[in-house]
Amino acid sequence: MESNVGGRDRIARGIVAVLLTVVAVKALASGRRSRAVLLGVAALGLGINAVTCFCGLNRALGIDTTTE
């Protein structure tokens, strides 16, 4: 896999992943399981993007933020 996520994009994805995780935990605590699962999956996806520096959607759209 060739890196296509870098710089500010990577940091933003990491921050949003953490925020989504917090909201997912709050949703789970309030009994909203469906919302918690969706938010958790989104957080996991963004977290993986931030850690691996690769995004399949960026690749499909031809976006490369590693040169920022």
Alpha helices per DSSP H over the chain: 7-29, 33-52, 56-61
Q: Which long-range CB contacts under 8 A does 55-64 form with residues at least 24 apart?
A: 55/4, 55/5, 58/4, 58/5, 59/4, 63/4, 64/4
Per-residue pLDDT tens for 13-62?
999 999 999 999 999 999 999 999 999 999 999 999 999 999 999 999 99
Residue 68 pLDDT class (50, 70, 90 cuts): low
